[in-house]
Amino acid sequence: MSGAELRFFPVRQGYVLTQGRLFILLVVFAGLSAIFPGCVSQRATTEAPALHSTPPSREESFILPSGWFREKLSASGPGNLMRLVNENRSAVMVLKELHSSAATRAMLANEDICVLGNVSLQEKLAQLNVVSRIIRTPSLFKNDPRFCLYIYAKDYLLRRVLVFRSEKRMYELELRQEKSDALLTSFGEDQLLFAKAVLGLK
C-alpha cells in the first residue's frame, strides 16, 4: 500500500466536498426520498442514494478475476448485486449499484466522479456502528476520470471502495479485508479488472 493510502484522517476532518456544495447534493437526495419513496432510501438517517436490490440481467456474463469465485448473496446485505470471494477467503469484493431517479442521474452526469465518491462515503459513515477511520479520501484512481477510490477502516479491517458509472448506472465495488494480514493492494488490479468488466471495458 502506498504511503498516501496509509495516512489516517479523523472522521470529523473535512474530507468531503465544500460544505455548501455537499449540503445541496444531500438535500436533493433527501427531497427525492420523500418524492420518490420507491426509488431512493427511506431511512431517515441516510441522505445518500439507496442501493438497487435487483441484479442486472447481464450479471451472469461478467468475467470473474482469476482466483475469485462468486458466493451466494446473504439476506443481510440489501442492495448487493454480486459478492466475490478470493480462493483463500482473505478478501471479498461486493458490487453494488447506487440507485437514483433519472433527474438525480442527470444532475450527477456532468459532475466529477468523485462527487459520487463523496456521496458513497457519506452513506458508509451513516451506516457504521463503530468508530471508523478514513485512510484515503475520495480521489481519482491512477488519475483516471472514470474511477474514484477511497479507503476506510471498519472493525480494524480495511475497505477499499472503487466508484464508477456507466451511461445510466452508478456503481461501487468494495474490496474488503477479511483477514488482518491480507494485503489489499495485492488485489487492487483484480478490483480494477472486475470494475472494467462491469462496464464492458477491456
Q: Please say if the pLDDT value at position 2 is more than 60.
A: no
Q: Please say if the pLDDT value at position 1 is more than 50.
A: no
- Whether 82 maps to a domain, the answer reads yes
Cα dist from 143 to 5, 113, 146, 148, whole Å: 15, 11, 9, 9
Write out pLDDT tens, residues 108-158.
Answer: 777 899 999 998 898 888 876 655 789 999 999 999 999 999 999 988 899
Amino acid identity at 178: E
Write out pLDDT tens, residues 52-70.
Answer: 333 444 445 578 899 999 9
The model's confidence at residue 163, banded by pLDDT at 50, 70 and 90, is: very high
Average pLDDT for 152-177 = 91
Least confident of 3-17, 40-54, 72-86: 40-54
Domain with 163, as residue range(s), is 3-8+49-199
- Whether 26 maps to a domain, the answer reads no
- Whether 38 maps to a domain, the answer reads no
Measured in degrees and rounded to the nearest 5, phi and psi for residue 139 equal -155, 160
Q: Give dist(CA 187, CA 169) in Å, integer.
A: 24
CATH number at residue 160: 3.40.1000
Considering the chain, what percentage of its residues have pLDDT values greater than 90? 38
Average pLDDT for 76-81 = 63
- Whether 16 maps to a domain, the answer reads no
- Whether 168 maps to a domain, the answer reads yes
- Whether 25 maps to a domain, the answer reads no
Q: pTM higher than 0.75 for the full model?
A: no
- Whether 158 maps to a domain, the answer reads yes
Chain mean pLDDT for the chain: 73
Q: Which residue has the higher pLDDT, 152 or 4?
A: 152
Collapsed DSSP state (helix, strand, coil) of residue 15: coil
Residue pair 173/94 in contact by the 8 Å Cβ criterion = yes
Domain count, the chain: 1
Average pLDDT for 28-34 = 45
- Whether 65 maps to a domain, the answer reads yes
Amino acid identity at 177: Q
Q: Give dist(CA 174, CA 183) in Å, integer.
A: 15
Collapsed DSSP state (helix, strand, coil) of residue 126: helix
Cα dist from 59 to 14, 32, 131, whole Å: 37, 28, 34
